[in-house]
Structures are given as C-alpha cells and as structure tokens.
Structure 1
C-alpha cells in the first residue's frame, strides 16, 4: 500500500469518525457543522464572527450550536435565557476561561483553579465604589501630567492619543508610580508591545505560540516587564504613599511561580477595554454636535474656569456632569464584547432543547444590546436613554450586560466607569478636537473584548 492510499484511507476514517461522533441528538439545538473534520465551521465563523452570529440566528432561531475547532459553541440570544447563563449552577465560568488563560498567560490549570477565586475577590474588594474613590485624586494628577505631554496642539490617531495618556496614568494608579513607563520612549515601547499583545489576544487564546511569533514575543516582553514590577514591589523599591496598590495586594495573594503571569492578566484586564471605550465615546461625541454641546455645557459648568494645565476634578465634580457618563455607557452598549462564555457542566434545558455538558455556552452582549424591546432605535447613539437608569444606586438599564452578570460580573467595573468619566471630562475640558475622518465602523473580526474600530480615525487638537 503506497503512501497516497494510506493518506486517503486515514482521511476517509477521520471523516467517518467525525460524522459518527457528531450525530445530533433529537433534543439538541440546530447545529452548524461545516464540512471539514475537527475544524467544522471555524473558517467561516472566523471571517466575521459578529455577522456569523446574526446570520445563524436568523436562519436557525434564538438557540443554535456551532462546531468550530473541535469545540461546540452553543449560542443563546433571548433575554429570558440570560439569567440561566449567569446564574445557573449547571454552567461554570472558570472552566470556560481556564484554557484561554493558559494560552494567553501560560498559567497552569492547577494554579488557575487554586488562585483565580482569590484574585477575583481581591479585585472586587479593592475596586469597590468606595475604594475607587480613594484612587481618584491620584488618578486625576496622573491624567493631568500625561495630557500635558500632548502639547498645546497636534494631530494623530485618536486611539493612539488615548493610549499615550491612559496607559501610564492607569498603570501608575493601580500598579504604583514606580511601575509605570515614565518617559516618552518607554511609553512608546510599552504601547507597541501591549498593542500587539492586545490585538492578538483572541487568536492567542486559541492558537499555540508557534503560529503567532510576533504576538508570543510581545507576551514574553510583557511577562518580563511584570516580573520587574513585582521585584520592585518585593524589594520595597516602590515608595508610593497611601493605600497599597492592586499589584502589592496581588503579590501577597499569589504564592506560586505564576505570580507574574497573573500580573500580566491583571495588566491586560485593566487596560484592554478602557482604551477602545474611551476612543468610541469621544468619537461618538465629536460626530454628534448636539451631544458634544450638551456635554461641554455640563463640563464647563462643573470646572468653573479652572487652569487648563493642572485641573482639579473631584468625584463631586463628576456628579455634576451625568451626561458625560451617559455617553460612556451608551458607547459601551454599542461596542460591547461580541461574546462571553460559560461551560456547561450538567445538561441544561433551554426552550425545548437539551444543551449537553461540555458545550461552551455563548452569549453576545453586542447583539443583546441591539434588542429593540430594551433599547428602542438600537443602532442610534442616544445618551439620553440612560436618564432612565438609577446610576446613583449603581443600577444599569435592563438588558445591559456589558459587564457580564452573576458571581463573575466584571470586578473592576466601578473603577472603570470612574476612570473613563474622569478622563473624558478632562481631555474635553483641556482640548478641542476636530475629526479628520468619518466615524469608523466596528470591526466584525473579534469576539473578545470591546469592539475595535475597523478603520482609521485621525483628529486635530488644540488647547481650549
């Protein structure tokens, strides 16, 4: 038997096994299988996941399964199913994200299941609304300092301008001033490496480093950077006054060799979504003159003609500009993650279907936020809709799931809202922007994290 016959025989065997093992239970949801063994519909799905989800729902209904890269992804799209997704004991968050955490941060399975609950509790406890308020004054100082480095006027990519200011300021606030890139060369290097890691994060969560050489190199550079940060903390080289930083608390929480790896995930979580949401908020506001004018009236009234260089912005000041927060939450609604996931650990019933254990249960905040039952004219940027939310009591609009839900709702959400509110108010108070490009569309390529812009968005800016 020659090698061609052997290969053909193996191919036939694999296809036969695939068809045999993937027979659908009569109680299972409609399934998009594809025709390539193991890969299934992965190639078609990966071309534009957001579009794929919408087309599959239109064709198969509100619950459907996709075979992709050896996994069964079962999507739920009805609001009445979201409570099961977030609250059912038959689905598990940690089992769903363990493998991606190993791929993106090289944390072993044993370590992840041992320390992840403590990490989640740590962040949730340190970034409560009350504790976030304690970080506000220092964060305002950092934003002021790095905004001044933009100069009195200039131009560039809006996303890049946001990164230049927010990366070092937030790192200083959460990880310690000694651990933030302190000069422009260091900031540019960090921006470059982190952008590569962030933009490839979704692919890195699914593919071996061998296939993503530049991304893997950026990951190793960032791990080395975090190791140096931890060394400074452990050697007491950080002399920040006041409360301990989030990184200092992490050092006392993780007691195995994967401490830097957890630090990398924490670094990514603190920066990755804040940048695009800030970008979208400013871009939406600049594209809507009435929205911009309304926001600026509140900002100017709260600031009371302060110095543009060293602007003091308190939480009380932020409370006087609720419209700015509405703009931020509306940007979050429109550019929410493509999907969040849980793993089915015991069969669950949805409608007349039985979802088997082992499936990854998927829910799309991006499409959930386009449900006209909860958000009339869902494609429109309408900050005014948030007037109905009781934000004073930290209650969002019904149907808003950008931060997830249940036990593993985003633990840093209150810090994130405060951080974005402060930054948007400061940058718009200090600078006047002119859009040089039209508002870009969101990229349909990714499921993980806030949607990135599909095209460029250049701006000119000058001191007001």
Structure 2
C-alpha cells in the first residue's frame, strides 16, 4: 500500500511516527509518581486527606510505595519516604524552601511574597547568629531569672491542666527574653487577652495558612489583635535597654534588618517570630513532662540526678548552668525523644525544575513533602520506634551538636530551624526547675495527640491535669518522687495499633 503514497506524504508520515515514538519513550523514561487524586475536580483527595492526614499519608505509602503524589485542593504534593528521595529533598538545588512557604507566610502574617523573599535569608542569618550553638548560653542567666519569677506565681501546691501550666511559664518567659522585658504582660487583663488571642492564632495557624480569612472569623480577629499590639509596641522594643550594655534582644536585631530593607512590615515580622518561638516549644515541653511523669523509673532517675547536682530542694533561686546541663543529660535525651515521637507531620519544598527520584520524575510546581512523623517511626532508622526510649540518644554526638541520623524534627538542609538550640536550652531549664521545686504527678491518663494538623508539633487531645507540691529534700527522702496517678501511656491514636512506653 505504501507504494501508492506520494514520496512526500510517506516521509511526513514516517517523521510523525518517529516523533510519536520519541514522545512515548520520553514519557516512559520520565513517568510521574503514582497519584491519588479522588474524583472531584480541584478538590481531589482533599476531603479524605483532611479528615486524618497522617493516616492518609501512611496508607498511600503502603499502597503506592516510597514515592507518591496526593492531589488535593488544587495542589500536587509528592511525598518521599526513603533514602534517595530524602537526599533529593535535603540536597537538590532544584527544590526550594522559600517558594514553598511564601504563600502561608503571607496568609498568616501579612508579609507580601516579594518582601518575604527579600528578607528571609537576611533574617535567618541574624537569628542563627544570635541563637547559634556557640552563643545560646548567654540566654541562660535571664531564662533562670524569668522561670523563677513565673514558678513563684504557681504557689506551693496546686492542680492545673498541664498545657495551661506550660503556657503560664513559656508565654511570658519567651517574650521577656527574646522581645522585651514586660513588653505587654505587665498587668493581668493584658496578659489574659494576649494568652487568649495567641492560643487562638496558634491553634488556627495551619487553617489560616491555607484558607481565606473571611472563613476564619475568630482566627482573623486574633491575628489582627496581635498585629495591632505589635504596631503599638515596636517603639518600646526599639528603645529598650537590656541589662547587658553590649547586647540587644533578638527582636531588636530583627527590627534592624527589617527596617533597613522593608520598613512598614515590622509588626508582621514580630508576629511571625512570636509564633515561631512559641508554637513548638509549648507542646514539646508538655509532651516531655507527660512522658517523664508517665515513666516512674525515668522520673525517679531524673529527680535523683537533679538533687545530686543542685542539692536538696529549698534553696532559693538555684542556677541551671551549662555545666549543670552536661551533668543532667538524661533530660535532654527525654526532650529529643519526645520530639521524635511528636514530630511535625510534614516539612516541604517546592520543585522548581523536574527532579528524578527512583524511576520517577517529579515535575516542577509540585510541593515535595517529607514527613518527620513517619520517618521517625521507620524501624530501619529508629529500632522499636513507638517506644519512649531516651537512652537511644546515647548514640548521638550531642557535644558536637549532632542529632541521630534521619532525625528531622528541626528540618534539614540549608534552612534548619535557627532557634533549635535556644528552644532546647529553654525547655531544659524549665523542666529542671519544675522538677527541682515540685513533686509532680499526672491525674489523668496519658493523652492522645491530635492528628488533624500537619504543621508543627501536634497538640494533645483532651485534658491532662498535673498536681504539684513543693518538694522536701529528696536526698533525705527515700521515697523519691511521687508516682504518677495517670495511666501508663496508651496506644497511639493510629490505625496500626502501635504502643508507646
């Protein structure tokens, strides 16, 4: 039949066939990861994903393998769960952190995208310098003073919801140390208003980062209240004279950068820094205390160690120093282990040029996602992953500021959390001073964690009360700390029936 074709037509047909074959071969060589998309346009798998996102991620991994894409609410999120994909996430120049978070930053703090892209690296360098591993201990003296003041407010004994107790301590301490002493916590009504609005803002942060403000009336109101508070407070922050004449607060250093580059956005940057300094530190402190108090042997060892290093309870305003922390390393191990078990659901980058992972090509525009929550539950990396085992941190070279391999709670790559060393210092001092001053016990069962959110350390679900009483000298009290009245940590709130503890 081909003999009947005009030579020019035959040549064109052969060319088109060659092009078609080339496209097929190229498509086969650059196939995308398997995708779960649902059947509703734009919404995709959003409804199922939103109901229980952590469980959905693990189910998709079990169904599709180590690289898979979830299409939801108009976005393609490609998850990586094993070595090669993790290396691309952390090291590839074709994926970008700033482009992945610029929209959430705009929604939550009203910082325009161009301003954020201009400021981010400058602010990161400033914060990393002020709170880096070698500078962070200069905060220790003030943290000691601030925590002693807040603990005095608790009185000799009482009962509180544990998350409320942690907020009572960390909200004012963090603001006083990083922003300005008594910035807006100088009288009770203002303190109550601040705590209420920040709690609403923090709890709605993830929804606020994705949804229009008009759909989140209470959250939007609290966001505007906090922004107005900072607008009013910026002059006081700039004029503040810290006790150390050669120093300035972190917020003052941040304002120097912001006002030199993007005047008019100081309040927005202050709000974002406030959220970054409190949103994870509060639940990490909560979970660490809950785990310690739920494990009587660990609790007893810690209290005995505190008494051995700092002396019997009753001394006034003891000081937790760098040397103290080295001698009480079990507390740091407990914090890192609590963070491992309560790690953020996801961290993200944006793919700016197609990247090859295993036999797949992830297209530009995708959000590349890694789940620290599930990575930390991989038995290949963390044996017996569902158990609270602080002793596993003996293997980490913490003296050289190195975590365990595949520990991703503070992010990874170029933009790890710049405040991680300050947060660890603050939480260590807080826990040591609480357990030095008080006998503590949980009155409720160990709480489940919320699985509704993916951003940041998860909050507890339900009530978890703590009873505290001023301690006698443990060195002369053979009974040691009071046993927890709460239940042993139960199974996690996951479909696979994992156990903790």
Q: TM-score range by the shorter chain?
A: over 0.9
Measured after TM superposition, the shift of residue 309 of structure 1 is 4.7
Equivalent residues of 1:75, 1:361 under 8 A apart: yes
For residues 187 and 314 of structure 2, the distance between their equivalents in structure 1, rounded to whole angstroms, comes to 24
Q: In structure 2, what is the equivalent of residue 6 of structure 1?
A: none
Matched ranges for 1:116-131 at <5 A: 116-131=120-135
Of residues 140-149 and 249-258 in structure 1, the stretch that sits farther from structure 2 once superposed is: 249-258
For residues 175 and 322 of structure 1, the distance between their equivalents in structure 2, rounded to whole angstroms, comes to 29
Q: Is 1:246 the counterpart of 2:250 in the alignment? A: yes
Measured after TM superposition, the shift of residue 198 of structure 1 is 0.4
Q: In structure 1, what is the equivalent of residue 195 of structure 2?
A: 191
Q: Which runs of 5+ in 2 are unaligned?
A: 1-26, 472-501
Matched ranges for 1:441-460 at <5 A: 441-460=448-467
Q: In structure 1, what is the equivalent of residue 151 of structure 2?
A: 147
Q: In structure 2, what is the equivalent of residue 326 of structure 1?
A: 333
Structure 2 counterpart of 1:317, from 311, 317, 324: 324
Measured after TM superposition, the shift of residue 180 of structure 1 is 4.9
For residues 82 and 447 of structure 2, the distance between their equivalents in structure 1, rounded to whole angstroms, comes to 29
Q: In structure 1, what is the equivalent of residue 285 of structure 2?
A: 278
For residues 428 and 465 of structure 2, the distance between their equivalents in structure 1, rounded to whole angstroms, comes to 22
Q: Is 1:73 the counterpart of 2:54 in the alignment? A: no
Measured after TM superposition, the shift of residue 441 of structure 1 is 1.4
Q: Is 1:36 the counterpart of 2:36 in the alignment? A: no
Task: Specify the SS of the correspondent of 1:43.
Answer: helix
Matched ranges for 1:156-167 at <5 A: 156-167=160-171
Measured after TM superposition, the shift of residue 300 of structure 1 is 1.3
Structure 2 counterpart of 1:115, from 99, 114, 119: 119
For residues 307 and 232 of structure 2, the distance between their equivalents in structure 1, rounded to whole angstroms, comes to 42
For residues 148 and 218 of structure 1, the distance between their equivalents in structure 2, rounded to whole angstroms, comes to 29
Measured after TM superposition, the shift of residue 229 of structure 1 is 2.5
Q: How many corresponding residue pairs?
A: 438
In the TM superposition, what whole-angstrom CA distance separates every residue of 1:287-338 from its partner, at most 9, and x where no partner exists? 1001111111211111122545522211111111000000000000000000
Q: Is 1:102 the counterpart of 2:106 in the alignment? A: yes
For residues 153 and 458 of structure 2, the distance between their equivalents in structure 1, rounded to whole angstroms, comes to 28
Task: Specify the SS of the correspondent of 1:346.
Answer: coil
Q: In structure 2, what is the equivalent of residue 287 of structure 1?
A: 294
Task: Specify the SS of the correspondent of 1:129.
Answer: coil
Q: In structure 1, what is the equivalent of residue 311 of structure 2?
A: 304
In the TM superposition, what whole-angstrom CA distance separates every residue of 1:191-243 from its partner, at most 9, and x where no partner exists? 11111000000000000100000000110111112222212123x2x232211
Task: Specify the SS of the correspondent of 2:98.
Answer: helix
C-alpha spacing 1:182/1:309, structure 2 compared with 1 (3 Å): farther
In the TM superposition, what whole-angstrom CA distance separates every residue of 1:406-454 from its partner, at most 9, and x where no partner exists? 1101111111111111111111111111211111111110100001112
Q: In structure 1, what is the equivalent of residue 94 of structure 2?
A: 90
Q: CA RMSD in A?
A: 1.2
For residues 433 and 245 of structure 1, the distance between their equivalents in structure 2, rounded to whole angstroms, comes to 33
Structure 1 counterpart of 2:349, from 329, 342, 349: 342
For residues 402 and 127 of structure 1, the distance between their equivalents in structure 2, rounded to whole angstroms, comes to 18
Equivalent residues of 1:374, 1:399 under 8 A apart: yes
Matched ranges for 1:41-60 at <5 A: 41-60=45-64
Q: Which runs of 5+ in 1 are unaligned?
A: 1-24
Measured after TM superposition, the shift of residue 178 of structure 1 is 3.5
Runs of 4+ aligned residues of structure 1 deviating over 6 Å after TM superposition are: none
Equivalent residues of 1:148, 1:309 under 8 A apart: no
Q: In structure 1, what is the equivalent of residue 442 of structure 2?
A: 435
Normalized against structure 2, the TM-score is what? 0.86
Task: Specify the SS of the correspondent of 1:461.
Answer: strand
Larger radius of gyration: 2
Of residues 78-87 and 337-346 in structure 1, the stretch that sits farther from structure 2 once superposed is: 78-87
Equivalent residues of 2:198, 2:226 under 8 A apart: yes
Structure 2 counterpart of 1:395, from 397, 402, 407: 402
For residues 216 and 426 of structure 1, the distance between their equivalents in structure 2, rounded to whole angstroms, comes to 36
Q: Is 1:264 the counterpart of 2:280 in the alignment? A: no
